[in-house]
Structure 1
């Protein structure tokens, strides 16, 4: 049975090997999951998460991706300001924060490669991730209401919560309007949602979502977990880590399992 500490510890061990770092950062489940771990109550989980991020930040191309991950810098700042944590945790959070704040200079060749890769992948994605700020998400009861509302929306693949910042990251089919999520959440009559996006300066802003007149297609039968495998665009990434890592195929299969855990079972 996987738990938060075992998952992040294994991920830290993988990140300690340089050939795995780019794959971990570009996986659509691992980096958002590490951001959520920065809000965990267990100091051991916090420290292992920061160690993992420190390893990943040793590869310069990873730095802008990590810095722009929703919630990353805010969560690190929160850890740096928490007086209840040990010096080891706050110091490591400060170190990771400083590394991510340093400017990274790319060569023209690197820029061209990045743009070409982004264009190729974006045409093949069947799913997208949406981050919502949910007003009223204060207790586990309210989170339960939100879970029930999202599970009823046809096209929702998976979702994870970051209770401290009242946020929910939802993976949905690419053809599902974000307004459908907001409409389903508003139907609880105690919650409301806005979309979290980054502006041109890289700052997070909240975008209001229109919920009036939005029709929401509902699931008629709900499985225990919504299947993500058919929609997952990370299959090639998972196989890539199996080919490059010195640990062999076991590392690739473990990363797949960990990513699934990160995107489906964050409920603490």
Structure 2
């Protein structure tokens, strides 16, 4: 399973109104769709946008989607990409219209939610920024693991995903986190070095050197213990088994499979 297959199945599942509530309530699926908006493959971006349009057809879902961390900024960043066709960008603008309620729509329920405490980072109405890094030395699973360990310790990192074949890592971070902090953390591995990938006005990619910071990078000191892969209860879920149950069971299994892939690929 890869990004293309996951986003394709999510788009197809979202086309059925019966599946939309389950997808919206699944934090991994929703956050994964947001991350797909910054993917290098235009097909992945377009499929993610179409899935979000399906989900936004129910007004009850719009508030949840709008408040998902990084959603509105990812849609805004899409406007400035030179490698995406205007037709695809139009899908993003359509979602922005669906997610932005009219100014007169201020109900007591909406106002009451403003003071509601937020216990999960992905539920807060905050902005996130996406950084694409070219990592020198990222050539195998061992180096990927070193990079993962380094990024996990950086306070302010929300999620990340790798493209080892291209030696790239796409990282979503809090807006106040300096990109140089990521470079410093990666440099601590002693075998990896990071450059930022940006696009010029002509659409060409540019590698920007990142100066490592002399100050100590703020780190997450308390990280959860994870089960090793060989004893993980999720391991058997990688096997593609066609269920014999009803159509809803089959569709639910695809959502579970997508969630499993996103949970293993991204760090939330």
Q: TM-score scaled by structure 2?
A: 0.58
Say if 1:226 and 1:141 are closer, same or farther in 2 by CA, change over 3 A. farther
Give the number of equivalent residue pairs.
205
Say if 1:218 and 1:22 are closer, same or farther in 2 by CA, change over 3 A. closer
Q: Secondary structure at the match of 2:160?
A: strand
Please report how far the alpha carbon of residue 15 of structure 1 lies from its aligned counterpart in structure 2 after TM superposition: 0.8
| Residues 28, 262 of structure 2: 8 Å contact kept | yes
Matched residue, 2:61: 62
Matched residue, 1:99: 98
Matched residue, 1:147: 148
| Residues 152, 218 of structure 1: 8 Å contact kept | no
1:13 aligns with 2:17: no
1:261 aligns with 2:261: yes
Cα distance in 2 between the residues matched to 1:111 and 1:4: 37
1:90 aligns with 2:105: no
Matched residue, 1:243: none
After superposition, the C-alpha distances for 1:61-102 in whole angstroms (9 at most, x for unaligned) are: 111111111111111112222233212201111111121112
User: What RMSD over aligned residues (CA atoms) do the two structures have, in Å?
Assistant: 4.7
Please report how far the alpha carbon of residue 132 of structure 1 lies from its aligned counterpart in structure 2 after TM superposition: 11
**What pairs up with 1:45-194 in 2 under 5 angstroms?**
45-103=44-102, 105=105, 138-141=133-136, 144=144, 145-149=146-150, 160-161=160-161, 166-167=171-172, 189=188
Say if 1:152 and 1:228 are closer, same or farther in 2 by CA, change over 3 A. farther
Q: Secondary structure at the match of 1:262?
A: helix
**What pairs up with 1:169-248 in 2 under 5 angstroms?**
189=188, 211=218, 216=222, 223-224=228-229, 227=232, 247-248=247-248
Say if 1:226 and 1:12 are closer, same or farther in 2 by CA, change over 3 A. farther
Cα distance in 1 between the residues matched to 2:3 and 2:131: 26
Please report how far the alpha carbon of residue 44 of structure 1 lies from its aligned counterpart in structure 2 after TM superposition: 1.2
Please report how far the alpha carbon of residue 31 of structure 1 lies from its aligned counterpart in structure 2 after TM superposition: 0.5
Say if 1:224 and 1:149 are closer, same or farther in 2 by CA, change over 3 A. farther
Say if 1:187 and 1:211 are closer, same or farther in 2 by CA, change over 3 A. farther
Q: Give the gaps of 5 or more residues in structure 2.
A: 139-143, 163-167, 175-180, 194-215, 235-245
